[in-house]
């Protein structure tokens, strides 16, 4: 199915997403160890360590979502000897293969990622709700990586002496 010479790019992306996922899980546990509400958001100006943790969560959530959707999924499709299409087509294909639990949730994660980055704390109530929803969608990112990784490993691991591990789902 796949040329072993070209497997390096797929492995690189799998390893990158695995690392991103580990960092996202760590930041998620630390950030959401306390309730996040509008008051919490308003108090960020007085708590730079929490603001930095928030920035790390938003960046890691966005980065992992981007890497999976924009780079890993198209690369996996190439290794399956398929032609990657538009993002929505790629997501639909992953859902059909059982590797993505919900295209609708993925699109929501993408839109939420944009809101977290571009509408940063304009409305404390809305921002707190967006953060809570992003927290709820972290398992979607982790589960998608795990499914893609297991699927690719089953098909291509014999061509490589290394393969990244799956991620725990704990948030």
Which tens digits make up the pLDDT trace of 130-169?
999 999 999 999 999 999 999 999 999 877 778 899 998 6
Q: Is 170 helix (H, G, I), strand (E, B) or coil?
A: coil
Inside any domain, residue 162: no
The pLDDT of residue 2 is 45
Number of domain units in the chain: 1
Q: Is the separation of the CB atoms in 21 and 140 below 8 Å?
A: no
Q: What range does the domain containing 47 cover?
A: 4-157
> Does residue 139 sit within a domain?
yes
pLDDT score, position 55: 93
What is the structure's pLDDT at 1?
47
pLDDT at position 168: 87
Tell me what pLDDT residue 157 has: 82
Q: What is the pLDDT of residues 58-112, one digit of tens each?
A: 999 999 999 999 999 999 999 999 999 999 999 999 999 999 999 999 999 999 9
Residue 35 lies in a domain: yes
Whether 82 is in a domain gets the answer yes
Q: Dump pLDDT digits (tens) for 19-37.
A: 999 999 999 999 999 999 9
What residues contact 129, with CB distance under 8 A and at least 6 apart? none
47-53 long-range contacts, CB within 8 A, separation 24+: 53/27
Within a domain: 17? yes
DSSP letter assigned to residue 68: I
Asked, for residue 163, whether it belongs to a domain, the answer is no
Structural domain includes residue 169: no
Question: Per-residue pLDDT tens for 97-114?
Answer: 999 999 999 999 999 988
**What's the confidence (pLDDT) of residue 115?**
85
pTM here?
0.91
User: Nearest 5 degrees, angle CA 163-CA 105-CA 32?
Assistant: 75
72 occurs within a structural domain: yes
pLDDT digits (tens, 9 = 90+) for 2-11: 444 478 999 9
What local confidence, expressed as pLDDT, does residue 120 receive? 66
């Amino acid at each position: 199915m796949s040329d072993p010479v070209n497997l390096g790019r797929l492995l690189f992306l799998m390893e990158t997403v695995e690392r991103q996922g580990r960092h996202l899980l760590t930041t998620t546990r630390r950030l959401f160890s306390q309730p996040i509400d509008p008051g919490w958001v308003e108090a960020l100006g007085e708590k730079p360590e929490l603001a930095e943790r928030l920035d790390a969560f938003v960046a890691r959530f966005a980065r992992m979502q981007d890497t999976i959707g924009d780079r890993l999924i198209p690369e996996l499709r190439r290794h399956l000897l398929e032609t990657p299409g538009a993002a929505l087509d790629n997501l639909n294909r992953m859902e059909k293969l059982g590797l993505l639990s919900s295209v609708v949730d993925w699109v929501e994660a993408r839109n939420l990622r944009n809101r977290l980055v571009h509408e940063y704390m304009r409305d404390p109530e809305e921002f707190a709700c967006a953060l809570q929803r992003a927290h709820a969608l972290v398992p979607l990112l982790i589960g998608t990586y795990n499914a893609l990784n297991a699927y690719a490993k089953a098909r291509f691991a014999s061509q490589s002496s290394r393969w990244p591990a799956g991620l725990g789902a704990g948030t």
